[in-house]
Amino acid sequence: MSKRFKISPGGKLAGTIRIPGDKSMSHRSVILGSLAEGVTHVSGLLEGEDVLATIAAFRAMGVNIEGPDEGRLVIRGVGLHGLRQPQHDLDMGNSGTAMRLLSGLLSGQSFPSSLIGDKSLSSRPMRRVVHPLTEMGAQISTAEGGTPPLQIRPADGLRAINYQMPMASAQVKSCLLLAALYAEGKTCVTEPAPTRDHTERMLRGFGYPLSSDGSRICLEPGFRLTATDMVVPGDISSAAFFIVGASIAPNSRVEIKNVGINPTRTGILFILKQMGADIELKNERTVGGEPVADLVIQSASLHGIHIDEAHVPLAIDEFPAILIAAAVASGETILSGAEELRVKESDRIAAMARGLTNIGVDITETADGMRVQGGQIQGGTVDSQGDHRIAMAFAMAGLLSNTEIMIEDCDNVATSFPDFQSLAESCGLNITVINQ
Ligand code: S3P
């Protein structure tokens, strides 16, 4: 069965809402809670399919995890050396984060393992983790073409590396930091541009020391993780659809409570504000080592910009939504330096280019981004390519379209935002889900 979203044109967004927990932090709280000594309580967890895959993997490795129950988990950590050999392949579903982070962790274990994924994940590049892990001495192989499944055999001891990452990727950075917990010597990873730093913050939160100096982060083995309580804030990447929807639909006002505003994640706020958006941050505070705020978004008339390439890694998951804003802004918006979008859950440049063209938007696709001429959205049918963020972004386009927008292949919205439809509907989006 495959879900479609039917969006009837028009409407505005209004209300005070909470969005689901941050996906990146939810994965990491399961991983680090499992490796800690003692009992970790997590609240605010995203109960999306991606995170459930990570939970299932740690259960298969002998970790006792209770929940999730209304965003709460109780994890009885087994310590850094307490994982057991799983009796079956570990299925990471749609989640690149789960697969790449676990590849590093599993490379340091004394048992073999095998990581598999769904159709989308099975076509995503894994050499970006396999190359540096192999340099550390890991015994890890991919399918031909450098894609999953990943087969991992126990290494004869991992050794530390100094690694200059060729691309800005928090998944690669985090993979190597997790492998470094098991490597002899001090591993240092240098990133070409800042990426989300939840792994570093959370390792420290579990009492594990790290040193960082500008873009270089170093970690040595020999310490331990101590259980703690983790409070996961709302995911700015899920808030993104409502931020864009409220910005573009006239007479909208949405307040989104409890959103994570870690500076490595807030590129969308810079970019939309540069386009003229009216976004206010209220009640800024720190929760569990992460900055959090309530966001108030009111409609504004947006104009096109050339997006600063320095903001791209800080908004990497938000471009489907941002490109919908660009489609209705006055003038041209140029996105460049975003070739990483081609290797996400779908090729997001191609998927957005095709979808925008189908609904009557004038765009030019480029190798590393696209140019969008803002104007009137017509309507039509869009293939989400099974990509959750493409589906949710086009749903918001319906707020300003002339005719209906039909979005195909929306099942994977459940990977990051299981209640998207009911929340969007409660705010005023004319969305109907059709089960085929
Ligand atoms: C993530 C890192 C990013 C992001 C993904 C989540 C993470 O991927 O796109 O959705 O949790 O570390 P890359 O590291 O490939 O940029």
> Is it true that the peptide bond before 68 is cis, omega within 30 degrees of 0?
yes
| Mean predicted lDDT score pLDDT of the chain | 98
Helix (H) or strand (E) segment spanning residue 124: none
Q: Who's near 81: CB < 8 A, 6+ residues apart? A: none
Whose CA is closest to atom 15 on ligand 1?
A: 169
Query: Phi, psi at residue 71, to the nearest 5°?
Result: 85, 5
State the Cα–Cα distance between residues 386 and 176, nearest whole angstrom: 29
State the Cα–Cα distance between residues 246 and 427, nearest whole angstrom: 10
Contact 290, 233 (CB under 8 A): yes
Tokens of residue 380, six digits: 């039509």
SS3 category, 228? coil
Helical segments of 275-344, H only: 319-328
Catalytic positions, written as ranges: 317
Whose CA is closest to atom 9 on ligand 1?
A: 317
Helical segments of 228-339, H only: 236-248, 267-274, 319-328
State the Cα–Cα distance between residues 263 and 280, nearest whole angstrom: 15
Q: What is the pLDDT of residues 161-186, one digit of tens each?
A: 999 999 999 999 999 999 999 999 99
Q: Who's near 148: CB < 8 A, 6+ residues apart? A: 92, 99, 115, 116, 117, 121, 122, 124, 126, 142
Tokens of residue 313, six digits: 């890694």
Contact 35, 225 (CB under 8 A): yes
Measure 378 CA to ligand 1 centroid, in angstroms.
Answer: 32
Contact 74, 67 (CB under 8 A): yes
State the Cα–Cα distance between residues 107 and 113, nearest whole angstrom: 9
pLDDT score at 1:
64
pLDDT score at 227:
98
End-to-end CA distance of the chain: give it in Å, rounded: 6
State the Cα–Cα distance between residues 296 and 246, nearest whole angstrom: 9
Pocket of ligand 1, beta carbon within 6 A: 24, 97, 169-171, 174, 196, 316-317, 340
State the Cα–Cα distance between residues 361 and 355, nearest whole angstrom: 9
Which of the listed residues 49, 196, 342 should we mutate to test ligand 1's pocket, taking the one with most ligand atoms within 8 A of CB? 196
State the Cα–Cα distance between residues 361 and 304, nearest whole angstrom: 14
Closest residue by Cα to residue 23 from 57, 46, 54, 39: 46
Tracing tokens 């807030």 back to the chain, one arrives at 266
Q: How many Cβ atoms are within 10 Å of 406's Cβ, its own excluded?
A: 19
CA-28 nearest atom, ligand 1: 11
Contact 18, 234 (CB under 8 A): yes
CA-170 nearest atom, ligand 1: 14
Tracing tokens 């505003």 back to the chain, one arrives at 261
Structural domains in the chain plus CATH codes: 3-21+233-435 (3.65.10.10), 23-231 (3.65.10.10)
At how many degrees (to 10) do helices 170-180 and 198-205 cross? 30
pLDDT score at 383:
98
Which of the listed residues 24, 97, 191 should we mutate to test ligand 1's pocket, taking the one with most ligand atoms within 8 A of CB? 97
Instruction: Write b or e for each residue in 278-303: b if 16 or more Cβ atoms lie within 10 A of its Cβ, otherwise e.
Output: bbeeeeeeeebebbbbbbbbebbebe
Closest residue by Cα to residue 92 from 126, 53, 129: 53
What CA–CA distances, in Å, run from 381 to 1, 35, 249, 385, 435? 18, 46, 20, 12, 16
CA-317 nearest atom, ligand 1: 9
pLDDT score at 331:
98
Name the amino acid, one letter, at 257. K
State the Cα–Cα distance between residues 29 and 10, nearest whole angstrom: 39
The low-confidence residues of the chain, meaning pLDDT below 50, are none
Helical segments of 213-274, H only: 236-248, 267-274
